[in-house]
Amino acid sequence: MLSLTNKRILLGITGGIAAYKCAELTRLLIKAGAEVRVAMTKAATEFITPLTMQALSGQRVHLDLLDIDAEAAMGHIELARWADLVLIAPATADFIARISHGQANDILSTMVLATSAKIAVAPAMNQAMWADDSTTTNLNTLVDRGYHIFGPAEGEQACGDVGPGRMLEPAQLLELSSSLFETGLLAGKNIVITGGPTREAIDPVRFISNHSSGKMAYALAAEAVAAGAKVTLISGPVNLATPDSVHRIDVVNAAQMLDATLEHMSNCDVFIGVAAVADYRPAEVEAQKIKKSDEQMQLTLIKNPDIISEVAKLDRKPFVVGFAAETNDIVSNGKDKLTRKNLDMLFANNATETFNSDSISVTALTKTSESELSAGNKNVVARNMLQLIATALGAS
């Protein structure tokens, strides 16, 4: 079974008797490493209590679309962006009909309509309802949109009938959910990623740095592992946990990051330069703390090495992917950087919207193409980025 480490799963519970199985399902998802949040329809609360799901998930359960406290920050939209997978279990015939027609009249259906994450539906209903032509039509509509249908199973039903319509068991839903992230797109590839800021010392207590959180690099590292790659993450100072199965190397300044990068280029297939490397560093680093005395102080700065350019100049050059965090003329500046540094691909984004945020929107650039990746959780967008990289590798 593939681990769900770092995966964010929004569990949507609708009003069927199988809702009681969601307690065990939540426990299994969390045990597999997922972070689980729960949204319930009003009917679902008649079968299992929100308090039970809150205790098991460790998170507030979302019940109302028009919740004043949550919606002050557009809570349902943020949760839709947060998810890597929306798993609807059980999915009643009524709920399947509503989402197949694009309705958004409760919190769960609204999240389904608003998310760019994977969506999986675990049907649960009477066997006659399952066999009805309307249900078949509605499910075919969802399949055409890319939804995943988990089940149903056959057997004895709560009403006494026997036949198809039972929700799959929690262990089966766990396995199917895990399989959605086992892409194999980058199986066997060695990927080196730089992430986070660098700190350039002024004296023993002061440094020059920037606002980079490292979240994009860490999301790419986690998703690359899920895609089958062997990943080395060279990280500046950040407060993030190392993704599962990622080899992390901690550095502080640009010179250290360059050295660590070049040491890992001999068998590197893809280099992704996400780090916000300081462009300049002090020409001299004072041995003792500089005392505050004069009204003004001047620092002489010198250029730092350009890590991604150094990689792009190697005789054995990997597939080189850069990032351009800009504050203006985002696409044109990104195209200039792509050409000037001889990169194979570049993702351009608005720096002021990205630093310390969990979501991002980017423009993917190559020498011959330009495409928009819509705003979403950084893990979701990272997966789309890796899809583009894998496609480019296959074509090269």
Q: What is the DSSP string of 319-383?
A: EEEEEEEESSSHHHHHHHHHHHTT-SEEEEEEHHHHTT-SEEEEEEE-SS-EEEEEEEEHHHHHH
Integer Cα distance of 300 and 20 in angstroms: 66
- 203: helix, coil or strand? coil
In the set 131, 143, 159, 205, the catalytic residue is 159
Of 246, 239, 247, the C-alpha closest to 197 is 239
Same topology for domains 8-179 and 190-395, yes or no?
A: yes
Cα 107–chain centre separation: 22
Integer Cα distance of 152 and 138 in angstroms: 15
The answer to whether residues 181 and 7 touch, using CB atoms and an 8 Å cutoff, is yes
What class, spelled out in words, does domain 8-179 have in CATH?
alpha beta
Q: Which fold has domain 190-395?
A: Rossmann fold (3.40.50)
Which residues, in sequence order, are CB contacts of 388 under 8 Å at separation 6+? 345, 364, 371
Element housing 120 (H / E):
strand 118-123
Is there a catalytic annotation at residue 22?
no
Each domain of the chain, given as residue ranges in start order, spans: 8-179, 190-395
**Could you list the pLDDT tens digit for every one of the 396 residues in the chain?**
356 766 889 999 999 999 999 999 999 999 988 889 999 999 999 999 999 999 999 999 999 876 655 544 446 678 888 898 999 999 999 999 999 999 998 999 999 999 989 999 999 998 999 999 999 999 999 999 999 999 898 887 777 777 788 999 999 999 999 888 876 788 889 999 999 999 999 999 999 999 899 999 999 999 998 888 899 999 999 999 998 789 999 999 999 999 999 999 999 999 999 999 999 999 999 999 988 887 888 899 999 999 999 999 999 999 999 998 887 888 989 999 999 999 999 999 887 666 667 788 899 999 999 998 888 888 889 999 999 999 998 865
pTM here is 0.62
Query: What radius of gyration, in Å, describes the C-alpha atoms of the chain?
Result: 24
Which residues, in sequence order, are CB contacts of 33 under 8 Å at separation 6+? 3, 4, 5, 6, 7, 244
Tens digit of pLDDT for each residue in 313-340? 999 999 999 998 887 888 989 999 999 9
